Amino acid sequence: MITILVASFAMGYGLAYLVQTQNIWPNSKKPAVHITEPMPRITENTPILFKKEYILSARVFEAEFTDKNGIIGMSLAQVREKYSPANGFSVSWQDKTLLILQKINDWSPQDKGKTRLKKYREMVAVYRGPDSHNDTLWRVTAIRFDTLPAQIQKGIEDGKYEFMDDQALNDTLENMDEYI
């Protein structure tokens, strides 16, 4: 009988040691009292960080938040209701700053404004759009493609003549005018 008791005690001790060291059964400790802090409200002094994420461009830009007066006095839950995930918004506190992230399933305005040169019916043409697969013909120039030097023709065919602004595009077209 004493042997059974000692063996039971040893097995219990060994099993407890294994559970504790091997984390066989997770042992989560729950607080005895749950204290909730009052939800902060948006004030005139609350810093707000507003970001727009353009999904097709895979870019995030900080933007000016223009509706601060419309959310003063609201709690986080109320702001989340006004700027809901159904409309592409995510609202959270980050440190003591209100972060509002808007996800837009489109190209960024910068990407939409890109231009590039391509060949169109033996002429040099300007296409506008975010990339060469999602652009549209914007205008056809008076420059014949076959009058350009071979390296410029190859550059146009390889998509190397892409511009972020109209000034750079116009400067390049002005330089190509000598081949007309």
Q: What is the pLDDT of residue 146?
A: 92
For position 136, what pLDDT does the model report?
93
> Tens place of pLDDT for every residue, the chain, 180 residues?
888 878 887 887 777 776 677 666 665 666 666 656 566 788 899 999 999 999 998 999 998 899 999 999 999 999 999 999 999 999 999 888 999 999 999 999 999 999 999 999 999 999 999 888 889 999 999 999 999 999 999 999 999 999 998 999 999 999 887 877
Q: Which domains does the chain have, with CATH numbers?
A: 48-104 (3.10.20), 113-179 (no CATH)
Contact 100, 89 (CB under 8 A): yes
pLDDT of residue 31: 65
How far apart are alpha carbons 113 and 126 in whole angstroms? Answer: 12
pLDDT at position 6, please? 81
Q: Are 159 and 108 in contact (CB under 8 A)?
A: no
What's the pTM value of the predicted model, to 2 decimals?
A: 0.64
Per-residue pLDDT at 124: 94
CB 57 within 8 A of CB 107: yes
pLDDT of residue 82: 93
3-state secondary structure of 140: strand
